[in-house]
Each structure stands twice: as C-alpha cells, then as structure tokens.
Amino acid sequence: MTTTNSTSPRPNSRRGDAQERGGLLVEGVTLTLGDGDATITALDDVHLNVAPGEFVAIVGPSGSGKSSLLAVAGALTTPDAGRVLLDGVDISRANGREKARHRREKIGFVFQSGNLIPALTTLDQLRFALDVAGKRADDGYDPRELLDRVGMGHRAGHRPHQLSGGERQRVGIARALVTRPAVLLVDEPTAALDRARSDDIVTLLAHETHEANVATIMVTHDHDVLHHCDRILSMVDGRLSE
Ligand SMILES: Nc1ncnc2c1ncn2[C@@H]1O[C@H](COP(=O)(O)OP(=O)(O)OP(=O)(O)O)[C@@H](O)[C@H]1O
Ligand SMILES: [Mg+2]
C-alpha cells in the first residue's frame, strides 16, 4: 500500500513525475563584486553539475562565495563569465523578465528562517506560491498532500507565529517544492535550529530531493548533517572543489 509516510525513503523515485527533466549545470562561472579598488572575485571559474534527485552540500568559510553561487544558480545574479543551465535552459543569457519566469517556474529557494508570509496560514503559503508561479495544483503538487508529506498536515490552518522554528522550516521547504521546481537552492537551513531539529530538517530535504527528483544544493556550516548528502563540496576563496 502506498502511504504518505515521510519516513519511508524512495531513492531517485520519479513517482508522479511524468516530465523528464535536467538538473543544474554551472560551467566556468566567474563573478566579480564591488567596484573600483574594492572588487572581489566572489566566484572563480566554478564548475558544478547536480543531477535530478541529487543532494549536494557546499561547505566553506564565511565569505568564500557560497551564497554568491546560490544567487548565480538561482538567476538572481548574472555571472561575468560562464554559463548556468537550468533544466536544459541557459539562464545566464536570459533577460530580466525571462529570469524572473525561470525563477518562479524552475527554482525553489529555502532560507535560514523559513521566510514565510506572516499573515498567511500554512496551507495558503503553498497556494500563494503556486499562484505566483502561475501554476495550478495539478502542475505542481497538491498543497494538502505535500503538507502531509512533510509532516505539517495538522498545522495547515496555523500562521507562522503559531509554529516552532523547525515547523516553519518544514513549511518553507514545502512552499519551495509545491511548484515542482527542477532545482532547490537551500542556504543554511539549520542555522536557527537545535541539533535534533537540524537533523530532522536535513533528513526531510534528503527525502524530498529523492522523492521530487529535484537537483538540490544546500549551503551549510553544520557538519553534523553532512552524512545525509550525496556529495560534499567545499568552497574556498571563490573556488569550488570536491
Ligand atoms: N553586493 C556585494 N558587493 C561587494 N561584495 C560582496 C557583495 N556581496 C558579497 N560580497 C562579497 O563576496 C564574498 C562572498 O560572499 P558570500 O555571501 O557569497 O559568502 P558566503 O560564503 O555565503 O559567506 P557566509 O558563510 O558568511 O554566508 C564576500 O567577501 C563578500 O564580502
Ligand atoms: Mg552565505
């Protein structure tokens, strides 16, 4: 029998995912920030390939370029050189309007604290994300089913201030996934959580990466959660290495 039990992993499952998809390909990306004498090479010839259903962690010192890489991968920042292919589409050559569309349709973002909209209930956070992406529940996931899957079905009517930090992060993950993005970009999701909650959240991210067949990059300083990841890369001075 099929259940919605979020503790039963289905590695690389394509359940309900009729559409074949590409992951994320970053090729020779360089990014210079600042101006005048104060320029800094935030990304220095970065190459990265994340397959659908793969969970990649990036670690590295503060200021090494981790968030800059997520910004480039997420079509928020245009690199000075190199290409970013998202689900087969070169977003580094897209104009502003196209980039915004790719962000809405193909990318899910998860931040440190969930970044939920204070006035909306849990269920409406997900419905709103679908609306913004111009998708209906059958283009993405059914919001109620997805909330059950991330263990938040019983909090569908709660607003963010009525949730714990770990619960808010679960809702943030569901909201990022409800549009069925090809790529999930996660920046320090456990920074505000205790150890047990951190482990829960990264376990969920690993499970959903496989279940939703999404290419996930997680930036983290939390070495205790790395065993949940398929691959660990480090960033030092804008350079990425295995
Ligand atoms: N808008 C900007 N203008 C100039 N320099 C910037 C800008 N944004 C970031 N930087 C610089 O680029 C470098 C990389 O920053 P980034 O935020 O990517 O680091 P990070 O690895 O995410 O660090 P942390 O672990 O502290 O979050 C840093 O030296 C930072 O000061
Ligand atoms: Mg950062």
Q: Which residue has the tokens 């928020």?
A: 76
**In contact, 47 and 27? CB cutoff 8 Å:** yes
Out of 30, 31, 33, 185, give the residue to mutate to test ligand 1, the one with the largest number of ligand atoms within 8 Å of its CB.
Answer: 33
β-sheet with 24-33: strand ranges across: 40-50, 24-33, 81-86, 89-90
Q: How far is the CA of 5 from the centre of ligand 2 (A)?
A: 33
- DSSP assignment of 192-204 equals TS-HHHHHHHHHH
Ligand 1 pocket member 64 (CB < 6 A)? yes
Ligand 1 within 6 A of CB of 34: yes
Give the pLDDT of residue 22.
83
Which pLDDT score is estimated for 162? 97
Distance CA 107, CA 161 (A): 26
CA of 155 to the centre of ligand 1 (A): 36
Asked if residues 169 and 201 have their Cβ atoms less than 8 Å apart, the reply is yes
pLDDT tens digits, 10-33: 344 333 343 457 899 999 999 999
Q: Is the CB of 9 under 6 A from ligand 1?
A: no
Dihedral sign for Cα atoms in the order 126, 129, 135, 140: negative
Spans of the chain, pLDDT less than 70: 1-20, 137
The pLDDT value recorded for residue 4 is 39
Protein residue with least CA distance to atom 7, ligand 1? 33
Dihedrals phi, psi of 118, to nearest 5 degrees: -55, -35
Distance between CA 209 and CA 216 in Å, rounded?
6
Q: Which atom of ligand 1 is nearest to the CA of 34?
A: 4
Query: What is the spatial distance between Cα 114 and Cα 116, in angstroms, rounded to a whole number?
Result: 6
Q: How far apart are CA 208 and CA 53, in angstroms?
A: 9
SS3 of 83, please?
A: strand
pLDDT tens per residue across span 150-193 = 999 999 999 999 999 999 999 999 999 999 999 999 999 999 88
3-state secondary structure of 116: coil
Give me the residues paired with residue 33 across strands.
40
pLDDT of residue 112: 82
Cβ atoms 55, 9 nearer than 8 A? no
Query: Which residue bears the tokens 């245009």?
Result: 78
